[in-house]
Amino acid sequence: MSSIDLSGKVAVVTGSGGGIGRAIAIAMAQAGAAVVINDIGTSLKGEGASQGPAAETQALIEAFGGRAAINGDSVAQWSGAQKIVQTALDNFGRIDIVVNNAGILRDAIFHKMDPDDWRAVIDVHLNGSFNVSRAAADHFRRQESGSYIHMTSGAGLIGMVGQASYSAAKLGITALSKVIALDMSRFNVRSNCIAPIAWSRMTNSIPEDTPEKRALVEKLKKMTPDKNAPLAVFLASDAAKHVNAQIFAIRLNEIYLMGQSRMLRSIHRSEGWTPETIAEHAMPALASSFMSVQSSVQHYGWDPV
Residues acting as catalytic residues: 166
Phi-psi region at 137: left, alpha or beta (left = phi > 0; alpha = psi -120 to 50):
alpha
Q: Return d(Cα 262, Cα 244) in angstroms, integer.
A: 17
HSE-CB at 41 with a 13 A cutoff on CA atoms is 15
Closest residue by Cα to residue 39 from 55, 24, 17:
17
Closest residue by Cα to residue 7 from 73, 67, 54:
67
Closest residue by Cα to residue 232 from 194, 182, 277, 189:
194
How, if at all, do strands 34-38 and 254-257 pair? Answer: unpaired
The DSSP line for 191-252 is EEEEEEE--STTGGGS---SHHHHHHHHHHHTS-GGGGHHHHHHHHSGGGTT--S-EEEEET
Confirm if 29 and 57 have CB atoms less than 8 A apart: no
Q: Return d(Cα 192, Cα 152) in angstroms, integer.
A: 10
Confirm if 287 and 265 have CB atoms less than 8 A apart: no
